[in-house]
Amino acid sequence: MSDIHHPGRRSVLTAGLASAAALGGSWLLTGCAGAEAAPVLPAAAAKGAPDRGGTLRIARPPASDAETLDPASSLSAYEYLGALYNRLVRIGSNGELAPDLAESWEPDAKARTWTFHLRKGVTFHNGRAFTSADAAYSLRHILDKATASPQAAVLAPLIDPAKLGTPDAHTLVVPLKTPNAEFPSLLTHYNCYVIPDGSAKSVGRTGIGTGPFKLESFAPAGPGRVTAYTDHWAGRPVLDAIAFYSVADMSARSNALLAGQVDLLSQTNLDFATARVVAASDRATIARVKNAQWYVLPMLTTEKPFTDVRVRQAMKLAYDPEHVVQVALQGAGTPGWDNPVPPSDPAYISAHPKHDPEQAKYLLKQAGHEGLAMDLYTSSYDPLFTPMALAYQDSAKRAGIRIKVKTASADSYYTQIWMKKPLMATYWFTGRPVDQLFTQIFRSGSSYNETAWSDKGFDAVLDRARAELDDTKRRELYGEAQTLVIEKGGAMTPMFADRLVGISRKVRGYAEHGFEFDYLGIGLKGA
């Protein structure tokens, strides 16, 4: 802060007024341009090689005042994890699995036992060598009830922590309770970063991992700093250091970027108005994470009238996802057509029923709900909820469906509205492997099953897919699962939205997709 000096009062006032006029002027310009201004938002961040070194400053929303560096915890400080740790397996930019600390992996003939061959010559930040004991310990740590890890719900039905095998220092054997051909993909979750053996008590503060950066300081919901780990197995990162700052308020975060105090806003999907202001600034610009946010209008299948599959089908046929993308996203995204699998996923199928308000009317008449009237809940939790709800309301009118959009308080939205009201707006970050997506959010009885949908046929398809080792056949089964969700499920997926990320014009090599952030390649130019 040494560059801040205190000018005289008079000059502050006059210069301030002049700059206010200038800013107002530029806003008017962008505002008046209207439709022409829409394509102004850049499609990608600046390309080109970064300079070596430098400190990247990231503003982040704190997970909680009790946040921790323990990757398995539900209160983990997400942005630090990818810098400090590695997983066994990660998801590559093409959506396929890619090696991380495991160089290769293979199942037995029945997909009941998986063997991971671990990378040699990897060291933790404290100098200790990484071995299979650490990998096994990290899995046991996730499964430990005391950790209360969200990923335990996914892994506990599959793994018995006592049976993990470590035949040698660089081999991990995981016997499964039920066959699962997609098991390695479940280890790509951000709760599955590898921590040193026996570090459950301390890792939340020390952050010791094998990642490209090592921890210098960390305060829950406060500032923190990581510095380049020169002995990282994949080579030294471009940056010398990353400073993380916690800024809870979203407009305060964008102000910090506009004022040049930070270089990147993480986990922040800017609204279009703010994004325009950022893009017009000469310090900052907008980068996009394609289809990063999966927007859902879940219908609770246990609440009337959504207990009737014909009503659910009518709700889906009644609206036009293209219209929602144009209105709510100003085109910055992809229509979902009620398929929860993002278009970038290798298992994605593009087939879907056409928008058909007449058929919707017919189905509603059959079900005895002609001229259906429903409340649709939204909140300011995310800037796109209300535009999406209004676009749906508008589009569904043609099928005679009357939607009333109701706004609920943002701070209790996920405790009072989500999974409680029959119809509401919500979203997830994309990046879940397809098996986890279906198992966690659509399978009968799962704790994240936000439509409370229960379909034995669908569950059976998931089981068959898990037991199928042939990649092509397995993908066909996941295609079948998508068809079932589209035709019978309770979730409407109107759109996948690009995340509009505020980023300094100096940043180069920014790459983020799903839960993957490239900390090795990101850097600064001319800083």
Partner 1 sequence: MLSFITRRIAAAVGTLFLSSVLVFLAVQALPGDVATQILGKDATPDAVAALREKLKLDKPAWERYADWVGGALHGDFGTSLVSGKAVGGEVSTYLGNSALIALVTVLFAVTGSIVLGVLAGLYRDRWPDHLISTVSLVGMSVPEFVVATVLVLCFSVALPWFPAVVLYGPDASVGQLLPAVWLPALALAVVMAAYIVRMARTSVIDVMATEYVTTARLKGLSTWRVVTRHALPSALLPTLHVIALNVAWLVGGVAVVENVFNYPGIGKLMLSSVQNRDLPTIQAIALISAVVYVVCNLAADLATMALNPRLRTRGRTR
Nearest to 195 by CA among 144, 133, 108: 133
Q: Up-side HSE of residue 263: CA atoms within 13 Å toward CB?
A: 22
Question: Of 284 and 423, which has the nearer Cβ to partner 1?
Answer: 284
- Rounded Cα distance between 427 and 419, Å, is 13
Check if the beta carbon of residue 316 is closer than 8 Å to that of residue 353.
yes
Contacts for 144 with CB less than 8 Å, ≥ 6 apart: 152, 161, 200
Minimum distance of partner 1 from residue 333's CB (angstroms): 22
Q: Does 169 bind partner 1 (CB under 8 A)?
A: no
Among 40, 98, 129, 148, the residue binding partner 1 under the rule CB under 8 A is: 148
Among 30, 171, 202, 261, the residue binding partner 1 under the rule CB under 8 A is: 261
Question: Of 161 and 343, which has the nearer Cβ to partner 1?
Answer: 161
Among 233, 348, 362, 448, the residue binding partner 1 under the rule CB under 8 A is: 448
Q: Does 16 bind partner 1 (CB under 8 A)?
A: yes
Among 416, 454, 464, 483, the residue binding partner 1 under the rule CB under 8 A is: 416
Question: Of 445 and 526, which has the nearer Cβ to partner 1?
Answer: 445
Residues touching partner 1, count (CB under 8 A): 54
Burial per residue of 210-239, b for 16 or more beta-carbon CB atoms within 10 angstroms, e otherwise: bbbbbbeebebeeebbbbbbeebbeeebbb
Q: Does 10 bind partner 1 (CB under 8 A)?
A: no
* Region near partner 1 per CB under 8 A, out of 17-25, 39-47, 110-118, 303-311: 17-25
Helix (H, G, I), strand (E, B) or coil at 234: coil
Task: Write each residue from 51 to 90 as x if it is in contact with partner 1 (CB under 8 A), else as -, in one continuous string.
Answer: ------x-x----xxx-------xx---------------
- Rounded Cα distance between 273 and 384, Å, is 12
Question: Of 152 and 172, which has the nearer Cβ to partner 1?
Answer: 152
Among 28, 33, 38, 248, the residue binding partner 1 under the rule CB under 8 A is: 248
211-230 binders of partner 1 (CB under 8 A): 219-223
Q: Does 262 bind partner 1 (CB under 8 A)?
A: yes
Tokens of 61: 């929303």
Minimum distance of partner 1 from residue 64's CB (angstroms): 5
176-195 binders of partner 1 (CB under 8 A): none
Minimum distance of partner 1 from residue 428's CB (angstroms): 9
Minimum distance of partner 1 from residue 298's CB (angstroms): 13
Question: Of 249 and 471, which has the nearer Cβ to partner 1?
Answer: 249
Helix (H, G, I), strand (E, B) or coil at 6: coil
Minimum distance of partner 1 from residue 24's CB (angstroms): 9
Q: Which residues pair with 171 in a beta bridge?
A: 117, 168
Question: Of 256 and 524, which has the nearer Cβ to partner 1?
Answer: 256
Distances, alpha carbon 121 to alpha carbons 125, 199, 234, 297, in Å: 13, 20, 10, 48
Q: Which residues pair with 107 in a beta bridge?
A: 114
Q: Does 29 bind partner 1 (CB under 8 A)?
A: no
Among 129, 259, 273, 351, the residue binding partner 1 under the rule CB under 8 A is: 259
Q: Does 150 bind partner 1 (CB under 8 A)?
A: yes
Query: Hey, which bits of 235-303 come out as E strands?
Result: 241-246, 264-265, 284-298
Give, to the nearest 10 degrees, the angle between helix 309-318 and helix 357-367.
Answer: 160
Query: Hey, which bits of 361-490 come out as E strands?
Result: 373-378, 402-407, 426-429
Q: Which residues pair with 264 in a beta bridge?
A: 58, 503
Task: Write each residue from 332 to 371 as x if it is in contact with partner 1 (CB under 8 A), else as -, in one continuous string.
Answer: ----------------------------------------
Triad 406, 410, 281: Cα angle to 5°: 105
Triad 115, 79, 343: Cα angle to 5°: 65
Task: Write each residue from 384 to 413 as x if it is in contact with partner 1 (CB under 8 A), else as -, in one continuous string.
Answer: -------------------------x-xx-
Q: Does 432 bind partner 1 (CB under 8 A)?
A: no
- Rounded Cα distance between 467 and 448, Å, is 23
Distances, alpha carbon 5 to alpha carbons 12, 48, 161, 257, in Å: 11, 35, 59, 20
Tokens of 515: 């839960």
Question: Of 15 and 43, which has the nearer Cβ to partner 1?
Answer: 15
Binding site for partner 1 (CB under 8 A): 1, 3-7, 12, 15-17, 19-20, 22-23, 57, 59, 64-66, 74-75, 148, 150, 153, 219-223, 245-249, 251-253, 255-256, 258-262, 281, 409, 411-412, 414-416, 418, 447-448
